[in-house]
Every structure is written in C-alpha cells, then in structure tokens.
Copies of this chain bind each other. A is one copy, B any other.
Amino acid sequence: METYKFDKSMELFKKATTLIPSGIYGHESPAILVPGSFPYYAERGQGSHYWDIDGNEFIDYICAYGPMVLGYNHPKVEAAVSEQSKKGNCFNHPGPVMVELAEKLVNLVSGMDWSVFAKNGSDVTSWSIQVAREHTGRSKVLMVSGAYHGAHAWCTPGHAGLIAEDRSNVHLFTWNDESSFHQQIEKYRGEIAAVIMTPYHHPAFGDSIMPADGWWQTIQKTCNEEEIVLIVDDVRAGFRLDPRGSHVYFGFEPDLVCFCKAIGNTHPLSACMGKDKFKNDASKVFLTGSYWNSSVPMAAACAVLDVMAEENSVKIMMDMGEKLMKGLEDLAKTHGLQVKISGPYSIPFMRFANEDNFLRNQLFCAEVTKRGSFFHPHHNWFLSSAHTEDDINKTLEHADAAYKIVKDEFGS
C-alpha cells in the first residue's frame, strides 16, 4: 500500500520556524518525532479520526494528548458549545453554568466538596500547592521523580531559564518506593505542605507504572499522620479510569484533586476540587485569569459529564484499549517481536521490550502513522469513546505491516 506523504506539513513547518521559535513547541513539538513520517499540522477532526493538511486521515490514538475523550466534533458537546457561544463566552461575571458545573462535579467526584476552574492543568496544580502551603503554614512539596505536573517553573521538565529558588522547596521521591518516600518524609518532617502525585506513574520515554499493592495506602496514611495535604494530579488520567476520579479506581482518598484535558472534550478548562476543610484556605489564595470564568468550556464540560454518564465512556475506552493492546501484543508474537504493554487500557503505552533507545518504537510508530493510525513512540496513548472495533481492526492491519518492517530492519 502507498504510505502517506507529509509535504504540506513539512513546507508549512519550514515557514513556521521563521516566525515561531522551534516552529512548534512544547508537547506537540515534532523534534521528538521522526522527520517526514509524522503530520505536523491538523486540518479537521470527526469522531476518532482527524485529517492533516496534506489530506491524510488518521485514527487518533493520542486524542490531542488527552483533551479529546468522546470524539472530535461530538454532537451533544458541540450543541452545548454552540448554544452557549450564541449567548457569549467571557464577560464581567461568570455565567450561571459555572454553578451548574461545580454542582455536577461535587455530586460526581468522590469525596470532593467544592470546585474552582482555570484554563491549564498547571494553573490548578500550582494553585493547589499554594492552598496546601496556606493550610499548613509549611513550604516544602514532595513529588515523584519524572512525574509531569505542568510547565510552571517549579515542575517544568525543561531546564532553560530556571533559577535555584524555583525548586529549592520541591523534593523528589521514587514511584512505588516506600523507603524513598519515607526518607524524604523523615528528612523534612514538619516542613512538608503537600505531596503531589499522579494516580499512576506515566512518564514520557518510559513504561507507565501502576501503583504497587499498598502504595496509595502508605501515602495516604503517612500524609494523614504528618498532616500533609495529599494532592492528586488527575490531569492526564481524569475521567478515563473512573468518572468519580482516578482515586476511586485505585481506592484512596486525596485532599485536593486537579482535573483538565478530558473534562471539556477539547474546550479549554481545568478544575481543582477539594475537601471542605480546605475551602477557607482556597478562598484566600488568589486565583484568576482573563478567561477563567468563560462559559463556553463550562457548558462543554457539563455536556461531557452527561454523555459520559449516558454511554459509560470509561468502559468503552477500556474495552477498545484492551482489544487494541492485546491485538498488538498477539501480532508482535506472530512476527517474533517482543513488546511491553503498560498503563491502563484507556491510556495505554507500548514499546519494544528488547531496546532502551526507542529506535524500534520510532520506526514502528512512524510506519503505523504513515498508514493511517497515529501512534506516538515516546508518550502514552489515549483512547476515546468514539473509537470503534472497526478502528481497532484497521489499526491492527497498519501495525501488522509496521511490525514486518521493524522485523526486517532490526531482526528481532
């Protein structure tokens, strides 16, 4: 079969580099993808599919890096967006939909009594730490080494433009390593305001790692004993494991939970929810942005939550993800290749088990993408509830051809 060309993407990217530093920056940067084998610019989307500016069609397993959860251009979400847009988006005051959304979330998300809204995941992870500092009167924060909590100076994975003070109160421990965690707890006893963690560990350039037995119970028990605020960064996993919060999926009770991405099905919104005991502190920590009270993304989020409840989106994503990942695993075996599957089925990742350098995975994902299924070689994938069995079957065909090329190139 003829594989895709990306001439228009490459051409526009070349122009972009004259106008924009790096041309495309951040998590969508093509610097980490194989040049000439991936699209750089999106034209339009529908359901689980999108088209790039060369006219290539892709079944999308990255889902805008998470924000697409029910499918692009979802009829019920876009109807709510359109209705609210006619009224307006950003005013001198919030719209009534802000209260409606807060009520829906408080009723839905387990153990959380209130909600605030912002635009970026970073807005709420950073704010939640300020709330914890206000509540405890302490300065220090513990986070997992390699975890992503956003692009603010205290947590960015970047290295440029930082100063020592940005992180002098942020201390690291190792995921699933109780002694590493307790070591930091003991070292900074009485100084720790917050422990911030994702519900499971999903680093870039690595396997996703689920919590070990007892891990969350240890974290929660220690935080309670030491009066440390336990913050869950559910930005990436939120609404893909359990609509009541990923802490329900893993069976623990955080103090504050941060959401973003899936909450608005591509419409820009983030939220921080918390327990009543932090509400007074939350009201004291200044929280604002020019568009944070905008009604359109909140109307989208209300529709998203309704659709998720109606169709049981999490089950669909889990089922489709399971079919995909088991299919990829089985196919790899038939080619004599070894793959390592990790993460929940709704947010899975795959790499080749016999390499650390991702070279097989880069070739594999490039060849799958060039045939019409967008896979990322270094970042976890996402399913949506718009993915169908037909999508998965087509993708497994693309994977079959790509595995053959990997086998031919690498031998095993």
Residues in chain A within 8 A of chain B (CB atoms): 9, 12, 15-16, 19-22, 24-28, 39-45, 50, 52-53, 60, 62-68, 72-73, 78, 81-82, 85-96, 98-99, 102-103, 106, 114-116, 119-123, 126, 129-134, 139, 150-153, 156-158, 160-163, 165-166, 168-169, 235, 260-261, 266-268, 270, 279-295, 374
Bound form: Cα–Cα A3–B374 in Å? 59
Contacts A78-B85, A130-B160 given; does A67 touch B291 at CB 8 Å? yes
Interface pair A42/B94, CB less than 8 Å apart: yes
Q: How many copies does the complex hold?
A: 2
Interface pair B67/A260, CB less than 8 Å apart: no
Chain B residue contacts of A96, Cβ below 8 A: 12, 41, 43, 53
Bound form: Cα–Cα A94–B64 in Å? 10
Q: List 25 A-B contacts (CB under 8 A).
A: A16-B102, A21-B114, A21-B279, A21-B283, A22-B283, A24-B93, A25-B116, A26-B286, A26-B288, A28-B293, A41-B96, A44-B86, A50-B92, A63-B92, A64-B92, A67-B90, A67-B290, A73-B88, A130-B162, A151-B287, A151-B288, A160-B281, A266-B291, A268-B291, A268-B294
User: Which of A67, A96, A103, A374 has the most chain B CB atoms closer than 10 A to its own CB?
Assistant: A96
Interface pair B288/A25, CB less than 8 Å apart: yes
The distance from the CB of A103 to the nearest CB of chain B, in whole angstroms, is 6
The distance from the CB of A70 to the nearest CB of chain B, in whole angstroms, is 13
